[in-house]
Chain A
Amino acid sequence: MVVKVHGSVRAACPQRVLACLLEKDVEFEIFHVDLDAGEHKRPEFLLRQPFGQIPAVEDGDLKLFESRAIIRYYAAKYVDRGPNLLGNSLEERAVVDQWLEVEAHNFNDLVKTLVFQIVILPRMGEHGDLALAQKCEQQLEKVFDIYEQHLSKSSYLAGDSFTLADLSHLPAIRYLVNDAGMGHLVSERKHVNAWWEDISNRSAWKKLMELSKY
Chain B
Amino acid sequence: MEDWVISFTLTADYYINTVPLPFTFTNTSAGFLASFITVFAIVFFTVSLSLKLSNLIEMALKLYGAAMSTCTSRVLTCLHEKEADFEFISVNLFAGEHKESPFLAKNPFGQIPVLEDGDLTLFESRAISAYVAEKFKESGYDLIRYQNVKEGAQVKVWMEVESQQYHPAISPIVFQFFVAPLQGKSPEQAIIDEHLEKLGKVLDIYEDKLSRTKYLAGDFYSLADLFHLSYTYYFMKTPWANQINDRPHVKAWWEDISSRPAFLKVASAMNFGEKQN
Contact = CB atoms under 8 A, between A and B. Distances in A.
B208 A97 contact: no
Interface string B105-134: 000110000000101101110111011001
- B contact patch SS: helix
Contacts of B12: none
Contact-size category for A: 20 to 34
Most buried by B among A65, A90, A98, A146: A98
B159 interface: yes
A65 B217 CA distance: 12
A77 B156 CA distance: 13
B205 interface: yes
A39 interface: no
A93 B123 CA distance: 13
Contacts of A66: 156-157, 160-161, 164
B249 to A, nearest CB: 14
Contact of A94 (B127, B153, B154, B157): B127
Contacts, number: 74
Contacts of A150: 108
B135 A73 contact: no
A19 to B, nearest CB: 17
Nearest to A150: B108
Interface string B161-182: 1011100100000000000000
A100 interface: yes
A153 B154 CA distance: 36
Contact of B131 (A65, A77, A94, A105): A94
Contacts of A51: 161, 165, 202, 205
Interface of A: 50-51, 62, 64-66, 68-69, 72-73, 77, 90-91, 93-95, 97-98, 100-102, 104-106, 109, 146, 149-150
List 5 tightest A-B contacts by C-beta distance, closest first.
A66-B160, A101-B124, A94-B131, A69-B156, A97-B127
19 contacts: A50-B205, A50-B208, A51-B202, A64-B154, A65-B157, A66-B164, A68-B160, A68-B163, A72-B156, A94-B122, A94-B131, A97-B124, A97-B126, A98-B122, A98-B123, A105-B163, A106-B109, A146-B108, A146-B109
